[in-house]
Structure 1
Protein backbone atom coordinates (compact mmCIF):
# COMPACT_ATOMS: atom_id res chain seq x y z
CA UNK A 1 0.00 0.00 0.00
CA UNK A 2 1.42 3.44 -0.86
CA UNK A 3 2.30 5.86 1.91
CA UNK A 4 -0.40 8.50 2.33
CA UNK A 5 0.36 9.82 5.80
CA UNK A 6 3.68 11.05 7.19
CA UNK A 7 3.84 11.29 10.98
CA UNK A 8 6.71 13.03 12.74
CA UNK A 9 8.06 12.98 16.23
CA UNK A 10 8.68 16.59 17.26
CA UNK A 11 11.62 17.02 19.64
CA UNK A 12 14.94 16.13 18.09
CA UNK A 13 13.22 15.24 14.81
CA UNK A 14 11.68 18.50 13.61
CA UNK A 15 12.95 20.72 16.42
CA UNK A 16 16.55 21.04 17.58
CA UNK A 17 16.39 20.35 21.33
CA UNK A 18 19.89 21.74 21.80
CA UNK A 19 18.98 25.15 20.43
CA UNK A 20 17.61 26.48 23.74
CA UNK A 21 20.87 25.99 25.65
CA UNK A 22 22.92 27.11 22.65
CA UNK A 23 20.96 30.35 22.29
CA UNK A 24 21.10 31.12 26.01
CA UNK A 25 24.85 30.48 26.11
CA UNK A 26 25.38 33.20 23.50
CA UNK A 27 23.66 35.87 25.57
CA UNK A 28 25.73 38.39 27.57
CA UNK A 29 26.50 37.35 31.12
CA UNK A 30 26.11 33.62 30.47
CA UNK A 31 29.79 32.70 30.72
CA UNK A 32 29.14 29.84 33.14
CA UNK A 33 26.62 28.28 30.78
CA UNK A 34 28.79 28.98 27.74
CA UNK A 35 31.48 26.71 29.20
CA UNK A 36 29.14 23.71 29.41
CA UNK A 37 25.98 24.35 27.38
CA UNK A 38 26.40 21.21 25.31
CA UNK A 39 26.63 19.09 28.45
CA UNK A 40 23.58 20.83 29.91
CA UNK A 41 21.61 20.24 26.71
CA UNK A 42 22.58 16.55 26.62
CA UNK A 43 21.83 15.97 30.31
CA UNK A 44 18.53 17.81 29.96
CA UNK A 45 17.41 15.70 27.01
CA UNK A 46 18.48 12.39 28.52
CA UNK A 47 16.73 13.02 31.83
CA UNK A 48 13.63 14.28 30.04
CA UNK A 49 13.41 11.01 28.10
CA UNK A 50 14.27 8.82 31.08
CA UNK A 51 11.52 10.41 33.15
CA UNK A 52 8.94 9.73 30.43
CA UNK A 53 9.91 6.06 30.28
CA UNK A 54 9.79 5.66 34.06
CA UNK A 55 6.45 7.42 34.33
CA UNK A 56 5.02 5.27 31.54
CA UNK A 57 6.13 2.11 33.35
CA UNK A 58 4.81 3.19 36.76
CA UNK A 59 1.61 4.77 35.44
CA UNK A 60 2.52 8.06 37.11
CA UNK A 61 1.73 10.29 34.13
CA UNK A 62 2.19 14.04 34.11
CA UNK A 63 2.35 16.67 31.35
CA UNK A 64 5.56 16.70 29.31
CA UNK A 65 6.17 20.24 30.49
CA UNK A 66 6.69 18.84 34.00
CA UNK A 67 9.33 16.32 32.93
CA UNK A 68 10.96 19.04 30.83
CA UNK A 69 11.33 21.18 33.95
CA UNK A 70 12.45 18.23 36.07
CA UNK A 71 15.06 17.25 33.51
CA UNK A 72 16.39 20.80 33.34
CA UNK A 73 16.62 21.06 37.12
CA UNK A 74 18.70 17.89 37.23
CA UNK A 75 20.92 19.08 34.38
CA UNK A 76 21.58 22.48 35.97
CA UNK A 77 22.39 20.96 39.35
CA UNK A 78 24.68 18.41 37.72
CA UNK A 79 26.74 21.27 36.22
CA UNK A 80 26.67 23.49 39.31
CA UNK A 81 24.22 25.97 37.80
CA UNK A 82 21.28 25.33 40.10
CA UNK A 83 20.04 28.31 42.07
CA UNK A 84 20.07 30.65 39.07
CA UNK A 85 16.33 31.09 38.68
CA UNK A 86 16.70 33.64 35.90
CA UNK A 87 18.75 31.19 33.81
CA UNK A 88 16.24 28.43 34.45
CA UNK A 89 13.34 30.64 33.36
CA UNK A 90 15.21 31.74 30.26
CA UNK A 91 16.01 28.19 29.17
CA UNK A 92 12.41 27.11 29.64
CA UNK A 93 11.16 30.09 27.63
CA UNK A 94 13.57 29.24 24.81
CA UNK A 95 12.42 25.61 24.86
CA UNK A 96 8.99 26.78 23.77
CA UNK A 97 10.57 28.37 20.69
CA UNK A 98 13.05 25.75 19.57
CA UNK A 99 14.67 26.13 16.17
CA UNK A 100 13.46 23.79 13.45
CA UNK A 101 16.27 21.95 11.69
CA UNK A 102 17.19 23.79 8.47
CA UNK A 103 15.77 21.19 6.08
CA UNK A 104 12.44 20.79 7.88
CA UNK A 105 10.30 23.61 6.39
CA UNK A 106 11.16 22.73 2.79
CA UNK A 107 10.76 19.00 3.43
CA UNK A 108 7.26 19.47 4.84
CA UNK A 109 6.24 21.76 1.97
CA UNK A 110 7.43 19.17 -0.54
CA UNK A 111 5.45 16.39 1.12
CA UNK A 112 2.32 18.52 1.22
CA UNK A 113 2.78 19.50 -2.44
CA UNK A 114 2.90 15.82 -3.37
CA UNK A 115 -0.45 15.24 -1.65
CA UNK A 116 0.67 13.62 1.59
CA UNK A 117 -0.95 14.18 4.96
CA UNK A 118 1.59 15.43 7.49
CA UNK A 119 1.24 15.52 11.26
CA UNK A 120 3.16 15.52 14.52
CA UNK A 121 2.81 12.75 17.11
CA UNK A 122 4.67 13.79 20.23
CA UNK A 123 5.12 13.37 23.96
CA UNK A 124 4.85 17.15 24.12
CA UNK A 125 2.05 18.94 25.89
CA UNK A 126 -0.38 20.63 23.46
CA UNK A 127 0.59 24.15 24.52
CA UNK A 128 4.30 23.36 24.12
CA UNK A 129 3.77 21.94 20.66
CA UNK A 130 1.55 24.78 19.52
CA UNK A 131 4.16 27.30 20.65
CA UNK A 132 7.03 25.54 18.88
CA UNK A 133 5.07 24.98 15.67
CA UNK A 134 4.07 28.65 15.57
CA UNK A 135 7.59 29.89 16.33
CA UNK A 136 9.04 27.76 13.52
CA UNK A 137 6.30 28.72 11.06
CA UNK A 138 5.32 25.10 10.35
CA UNK A 139 1.59 25.30 10.95
CA UNK A 140 0.67 25.64 7.30
CA UNK A 141 2.38 22.35 6.47
CA UNK A 142 0.76 20.25 9.20
CA UNK A 143 -2.68 18.65 9.14
CA UNK A 144 -2.68 17.88 12.86
CA UNK A 145 -0.55 18.05 15.99
CA UNK A 146 -1.23 14.98 18.14
CA UNK A 147 -0.15 14.83 21.78
CA UNK A 148 0.09 11.89 24.17
CA UNK A 149 -2.10 13.90 26.53
CA UNK A 150 -5.06 12.44 24.64
CA UNK A 151 -4.27 9.01 26.11
CA UNK A 152 -2.31 9.89 29.28
CA UNK A 153 0.82 7.83 28.67
CA UNK A 154 4.15 8.54 27.00
CA UNK A 155 5.70 6.81 24.00
CA UNK A 156 6.39 4.07 23.15
CA UNK A 157 3.04 2.86 24.51
CA UNK A 158 0.92 1.42 21.70
CA UNK A 159 -1.96 3.67 22.78
CA UNK A 160 0.07 6.64 21.53
CA UNK A 161 0.63 5.16 18.06
CA UNK A 162 -3.09 4.28 17.97
CA UNK A 163 -3.82 8.01 17.83
CA UNK A 164 -2.75 8.10 14.16
CA UNK A 165 -5.37 5.62 12.99
CA UNK A 166 -7.98 7.19 15.20
CA UNK A 167 -7.34 10.66 13.80
CA UNK A 168 -6.83 9.85 10.10
CA UNK A 169 -8.60 6.52 9.63
CA UNK A 170 -5.65 4.97 7.81
CA UNK A 171 -4.16 1.49 7.91
CA UNK A 172 -0.78 1.11 9.58
CA UNK A 173 0.98 0.26 6.33
CA UNK A 174 -0.12 3.57 4.80
CA UNK A 175 1.76 5.46 7.53
CA UNK A 176 5.39 6.55 7.44
CA UNK A 177 6.53 7.33 10.98
CA UNK A 178 9.66 9.46 11.32
CA UNK A 179 11.71 9.95 14.47
CA UNK A 180 15.23 10.93 15.46
CA UNK A 181 14.93 8.61 18.47
CA UNK A 182 16.11 5.13 17.54
CA UNK A 183 13.94 3.53 20.22
CA UNK A 184 10.87 5.40 18.93
CA UNK A 185 11.46 4.34 15.33
CA UNK A 186 12.10 0.76 16.43
CA UNK A 187 8.96 0.57 18.55
CA UNK A 188 6.88 2.14 15.78
CA UNK A 189 8.20 -0.54 13.42
CA UNK A 190 7.11 -3.26 15.83
CA UNK A 191 3.72 -1.53 16.04
CA UNK A 192 3.31 -1.88 12.27
CA UNK A 193 4.27 1.47 10.76
CA UNK A 194 6.75 1.98 7.95
CA UNK A 195 9.54 3.89 9.66
CA UNK A 196 12.43 6.27 9.13
CA UNK A 197 15.08 6.86 11.75
CA UNK A 198 16.63 10.31 11.35
CA UNK A 199 19.99 9.28 12.78
CA UNK A 200 21.45 12.74 13.23
CA UNK A 201 24.13 11.50 15.62
CA UNK A 202 25.36 8.56 13.56
CA UNK A 203 24.56 6.04 16.33
CA UNK A 204 24.17 2.25 16.06
CA UNK A 205 20.69 0.81 15.67
CA UNK A 206 19.02 0.01 18.99
CA UNK A 207 18.73 -3.67 19.85
CA UNK A 208 14.94 -3.87 19.94
CA UNK A 209 12.37 -6.24 18.38
CA UNK A 210 11.62 -3.67 15.68
CA UNK A 211 14.29 -2.10 13.48
CA UNK A 212 13.74 1.07 11.40
CA UNK A 213 13.01 0.36 7.76
CA UNK A 214 15.11 3.33 6.63
CA UNK A 215 17.97 5.24 8.23
CA UNK A 216 18.77 8.77 7.06
CA UNK A 217 21.30 11.32 8.39
CA UNK A 218 18.65 14.07 8.28
CA UNK A 219 15.25 14.71 6.67
CA UNK A 220 16.33 16.40 3.45
CA UNK A 221 15.83 13.26 1.32
CA UNK A 222 12.54 12.23 2.87
CA UNK A 223 10.29 13.52 0.04
CA UNK A 224 12.40 11.55 -2.44
CA UNK A 225 12.12 8.43 -0.30
CA UNK A 226 8.33 8.73 0.01
CA UNK A 227 7.88 9.28 -3.71
Structure 2
Protein backbone atom coordinates (compact mmCIF):
# COMPACT_ATOMS: atom_id res chain seq x y z
CA UNK A 1 0.00 0.00 0.00
CA UNK A 2 1.52 3.40 -0.98
CA UNK A 3 2.34 5.84 1.79
CA UNK A 4 -0.33 8.51 2.24
CA UNK A 5 -0.58 11.61 4.35
CA UNK A 6 -2.63 10.96 7.51
CA UNK A 7 -6.20 12.24 7.67
CA UNK A 8 -8.17 13.27 10.73
CA UNK A 9 -11.73 13.44 9.40
CA UNK A 10 -13.77 10.83 7.56
CA UNK A 11 -16.71 12.16 5.56
CA UNK A 12 -19.45 9.63 4.82
CA UNK A 13 -22.00 9.74 2.05
CA UNK A 14 -25.41 8.67 3.41
CA UNK A 15 -27.83 7.30 0.82
CA UNK A 16 -26.76 3.80 -0.29
CA UNK A 17 -23.34 4.12 1.38
CA UNK A 18 -24.73 3.95 4.94
CA UNK A 19 -28.45 3.44 4.36
CA UNK A 20 -29.88 0.63 2.26
CA UNK A 21 -31.84 1.96 -0.73
CA UNK A 22 -32.82 -1.59 -1.69
CA UNK A 23 -35.64 -1.19 0.83
CA UNK A 24 -37.32 1.05 -1.78
CA UNK A 25 -37.66 -1.87 -4.20
CA UNK A 26 -41.21 -2.90 -3.16
CA UNK A 27 -42.52 0.54 -4.13
CA UNK A 28 -40.98 0.26 -7.59
CA UNK A 29 -42.26 -3.29 -7.94
CA UNK A 30 -45.77 -2.06 -7.14
CA UNK A 31 -45.63 0.95 -9.47
CA UNK A 32 -43.75 -0.52 -12.43
CA UNK A 33 -44.00 -4.28 -11.97
CA UNK A 34 -40.20 -4.32 -11.88
CA UNK A 35 -38.13 -3.57 -8.78
CA UNK A 36 -35.08 -2.87 -10.95
CA UNK A 37 -36.64 0.42 -12.10
CA UNK A 38 -35.29 1.67 -8.76
CA UNK A 39 -31.85 1.72 -10.35
CA UNK A 40 -33.06 3.63 -13.40
CA UNK A 41 -34.73 6.19 -11.13
CA UNK A 42 -31.69 6.57 -8.88
CA UNK A 43 -29.30 7.01 -11.81
CA UNK A 44 -31.60 9.66 -13.30
CA UNK A 45 -31.85 11.35 -9.89
CA UNK A 46 -28.08 11.70 -9.70
CA UNK A 47 -27.85 12.82 -13.34
CA UNK A 48 -30.37 15.61 -12.85
CA UNK A 49 -28.97 16.70 -9.50
CA UNK A 50 -25.65 17.28 -11.25
CA UNK A 51 -27.37 18.91 -14.23
CA UNK A 52 -29.12 21.35 -11.92
CA UNK A 53 -25.84 22.26 -10.23
CA UNK A 54 -24.00 22.71 -13.53
CA UNK A 55 -26.86 24.95 -14.68
CA UNK A 56 -26.54 27.20 -11.62
CA UNK A 57 -29.86 26.07 -10.16
CA UNK A 58 -30.91 24.36 -6.94
CA UNK A 59 -33.98 22.50 -5.71
CA UNK A 60 -34.23 20.27 -2.62
CA UNK A 61 -33.22 16.68 -3.22
CA UNK A 62 -36.57 15.33 -2.01
CA UNK A 63 -38.46 17.46 -4.53
CA UNK A 64 -36.07 16.36 -7.24
CA UNK A 65 -36.58 12.71 -6.25
CA UNK A 66 -40.33 13.10 -6.68
CA UNK A 67 -39.97 14.92 -9.97
CA UNK A 68 -37.66 12.27 -11.39
CA UNK A 69 -40.09 9.55 -10.28
CA UNK A 70 -42.85 11.29 -12.25
CA UNK A 71 -40.52 11.63 -15.26
CA UNK A 72 -39.57 7.95 -15.23
CA UNK A 73 -43.23 7.03 -14.86
CA UNK A 74 -44.22 9.25 -17.80
CA UNK A 75 -41.48 7.71 -19.94
CA UNK A 76 -42.87 4.28 -19.10
CA UNK A 77 -46.51 5.39 -19.44
CA UNK A 78 -47.25 4.55 -15.82
CA UNK A 79 -49.54 6.64 -13.63
CA UNK A 80 -47.95 7.94 -10.42
CA UNK A 81 -50.06 9.74 -7.84
CA UNK A 82 -49.15 12.34 -5.25
CA UNK A 83 -49.61 9.60 -2.65
CA UNK A 84 -46.98 7.52 -4.46
CA UNK A 85 -44.54 10.43 -4.39
CA UNK A 86 -45.26 10.99 -0.71
CA UNK A 87 -44.64 7.29 -0.04
CA UNK A 88 -41.29 7.51 -1.84
CA UNK A 89 -40.21 10.47 0.29
CA UNK A 90 -41.34 8.71 3.46
CA UNK A 91 -39.42 5.56 2.55
CA UNK A 92 -36.28 7.55 1.73
CA UNK A 93 -36.46 9.05 5.21
CA UNK A 94 -36.75 5.65 6.89
CA UNK A 95 -34.11 3.47 5.23
CA UNK A 96 -32.20 1.13 7.57
CA UNK A 97 -28.43 1.08 7.90
CA UNK A 98 -26.50 -1.72 6.24
CA UNK A 99 -25.66 -4.34 8.89
CA UNK A 100 -21.90 -3.70 8.87
CA UNK A 101 -22.17 0.08 9.24
CA UNK A 102 -22.34 0.31 13.01
CA UNK A 103 -19.34 -2.00 13.67
CA UNK A 104 -17.22 -0.17 11.08
CA UNK A 105 -18.10 3.27 12.43
CA UNK A 106 -17.41 2.15 15.98
CA UNK A 107 -13.98 0.85 14.97
CA UNK A 108 -13.10 4.13 13.26
CA UNK A 109 -14.27 6.23 16.22
CA UNK A 110 -12.22 4.12 18.60
CA UNK A 111 -9.19 4.67 16.36
CA UNK A 112 -9.56 8.43 16.92
CA UNK A 113 -11.06 9.70 13.67
CA UNK A 114 -13.67 12.44 13.50
CA UNK A 115 -16.68 11.09 11.61
CA UNK A 116 -19.17 13.30 9.76
CA UNK A 117 -21.78 12.84 7.06
CA UNK A 118 -22.30 14.80 3.85
CA UNK A 119 -25.53 14.13 2.00
CA UNK A 120 -27.37 15.47 -1.02
CA UNK A 121 -30.56 15.21 1.04
CA UNK A 122 -31.89 18.33 2.72
CA UNK A 123 -31.84 18.56 6.54
CA UNK A 124 -34.87 17.03 8.23
CA UNK A 125 -36.42 17.41 11.67
CA UNK A 126 -35.79 14.84 14.38
CA UNK A 127 -35.99 11.93 14.16
CA UNK A 128 -33.69 12.20 11.16
CA UNK A 129 -33.03 9.28 8.81
CA UNK A 130 -29.76 8.54 10.61
CA UNK A 131 -31.50 8.70 13.99
CA UNK A 132 -34.13 6.26 12.75
CA UNK A 133 -31.34 4.00 11.52
CA UNK A 134 -29.70 4.12 14.95
CA UNK A 135 -26.33 5.49 13.84
CA UNK A 136 -26.60 9.29 14.18
CA UNK A 137 -24.80 9.35 17.54
CA UNK A 138 -21.70 7.75 16.02
CA UNK A 139 -20.95 10.94 14.11
CA UNK A 140 -19.40 14.22 15.19
CA UNK A 141 -21.40 16.26 12.69
CA UNK A 142 -23.94 16.07 9.90
CA UNK A 143 -23.81 18.26 6.79
CA UNK A 144 -26.11 18.78 3.82
CA UNK A 145 -25.40 20.26 0.40
CA UNK A 146 -28.53 22.37 0.97
CA UNK A 147 -26.33 24.79 2.90
CA UNK A 148 -24.18 25.25 -0.21
CA UNK A 149 -26.95 25.20 -2.80
CA UNK A 150 -24.98 22.76 -4.95
CA UNK A 151 -25.10 18.98 -5.19
CA UNK A 152 -22.13 16.68 -4.91
CA UNK A 153 -19.65 16.27 -6.51
CA UNK A 154 -19.25 20.06 -6.75
CA UNK A 155 -15.98 21.10 -5.12
CA UNK A 156 -17.79 23.59 -2.86
CA UNK A 157 -19.64 20.80 -1.04
CA UNK A 158 -16.43 19.21 0.22
CA UNK A 159 -14.85 22.56 1.01
CA UNK A 160 -17.94 23.43 3.06
CA UNK A 161 -17.34 20.42 5.31
CA UNK A 162 -13.64 21.24 5.63
CA UNK A 163 -14.47 24.80 6.67
CA UNK A 164 -17.05 23.65 9.21
CA UNK A 165 -14.64 21.12 10.71
CA UNK A 166 -11.78 23.64 10.63
CA UNK A 167 -9.52 21.33 8.62
CA UNK A 168 -8.09 21.32 5.13
CA UNK A 169 -9.58 19.09 2.46
CA UNK A 170 -6.27 17.18 2.56
CA UNK A 171 -7.15 16.23 6.15
CA UNK A 172 -10.35 14.52 4.98
CA UNK A 173 -11.19 11.18 3.38
CA UNK A 174 -14.53 10.77 1.59
CA UNK A 175 -16.18 7.38 2.13
CA UNK A 176 -18.81 6.54 -0.47
CA UNK A 177 -20.15 3.77 -2.69
CA UNK A 178 -20.56 6.17 -5.63
CA UNK A 179 -17.38 6.61 -7.62
CA UNK A 180 -18.53 10.03 -8.85
CA UNK A 181 -18.53 11.18 -5.21
CA UNK A 182 -15.03 9.81 -4.67
CA UNK A 183 -13.74 11.47 -7.86
CA UNK A 184 -15.23 14.82 -6.82
CA UNK A 185 -13.76 14.61 -3.34
CA UNK A 186 -10.32 13.68 -4.67
CA UNK A 187 -10.45 16.60 -7.11
CA UNK A 188 -11.15 18.86 -4.11
CA UNK A 189 -8.05 17.56 -2.32
CA UNK A 190 -9.52 14.75 -0.19
CA UNK A 191 -8.58 11.12 -0.12
CA UNK A 192 -11.23 8.66 -1.29
CA UNK A 193 -12.42 5.38 0.21
CA UNK A 194 -14.74 3.35 -2.03
CA UNK A 195 -17.14 0.80 -0.55
CA UNK A 196 -18.35 -1.56 -3.26
CA UNK A 197 -22.14 -1.91 -3.26
CA UNK A 198 -24.32 -3.65 -5.90
CA UNK A 199 -24.58 -1.61 -9.14
CA UNK A 200 -21.53 0.51 -8.17
CA UNK A 201 -18.01 0.00 -9.54
CA UNK A 202 -14.74 1.86 -10.04
CA UNK A 203 -14.39 3.86 -13.27
CA UNK A 204 -11.22 2.56 -14.91
CA UNK A 205 -10.18 5.13 -17.50
CA UNK A 206 -6.98 7.13 -17.98
CA UNK A 207 -6.57 10.45 -16.13
CA UNK A 208 -9.25 9.59 -13.56
CA UNK A 209 -7.79 8.89 -10.10
CA UNK A 210 -8.48 5.55 -8.46
CA UNK A 211 -9.78 5.45 -4.88
CA UNK A 212 -7.09 5.48 -2.20
CA UNK A 213 -8.92 2.63 -0.48
CA UNK A 214 -11.43 0.11 -1.80
CA UNK A 215 -13.26 -2.91 -0.41
CA UNK A 216 -16.53 -4.79 -0.66
CA UNK A 217 -16.67 -4.89 3.16
CA UNK A 218 -17.01 -1.70 5.18
CA UNK A 219 -15.20 -3.14 8.22
CA UNK A 220 -12.27 -4.11 5.97
CA UNK A 221 -12.33 -0.63 4.45
CA UNK A 222 -12.17 0.82 7.96
CA UNK A 223 -9.19 -1.41 8.75
CA UNK A 224 -7.40 -0.22 5.60
CA UNK A 225 -7.90 3.42 6.59
CA UNK A 226 -6.74 2.76 10.15
CA UNK A 227 -3.69 0.83 8.95
CA UNK A 228 -2.67 3.51 6.46
CA UNK A 229 -2.95 6.27 9.06
CA UNK A 230 -1.12 4.27 11.69
CA UNK A 231 1.68 3.56 9.24
CA UNK A 232 1.85 7.22 8.26
CA UNK A 233 2.12 8.44 11.85
| TM-score category, normalised to shorter length | 0.7 to 0.9
Match of 1:205 in 2: 203
Match of 1:56 in 2: 53
Match of 1:135 in 2: 132
Aligned residues, how many? 220
How far has the Cα of 1:84 moved from its partner? 4.0
Which consecutive unaligned segments of at least 5 residues does structure 1 have?
Answer: 26-30
Question: Which stretch of the first structure deviates more once superposed, 135-144 or 210-219?
Answer: 210-219
Distance 2:151 2:114 in 1: 23
Normalising by structure 1, we get a TM-score of 0.87
Normalising by structure 2, we get a TM-score of 0.85
Over 3 Å counting, the alpha-carbon distance change for 1:69 and 1:33 in structure 2 is: closer
Query: Which consecutive aligned stretches of 4+ in structure 1 deviate over 6 angstroms post-superposition?
Result: none
Describe how 1:86-125 pairs up with structure 2 within 5 A: 86-125=83-122
Match of 2:19 in 1: 15
Distance 2:59 2:32 in 1: 31
How far has the Cα of 1:18 moved from its partner? 2.5
Describe how 1:170-185 pairs up with structure 2 within 5 A: 170-185=167-182
Distance 1:129 1:35 in 2: 34
How far has the Cα of 1:108 moved from its partner? 1.1
How far has the Cα of 1:76 moved from its partner? 3.3
Over 3 Å counting, the alpha-carbon distance change for 1:187 and 1:211 in structure 2 is: farther
Pairwise CA RMSD of aligned residues?
Answer: 2.2
| Cα pair 2:116 2:142 within 8 Å, conserved | yes
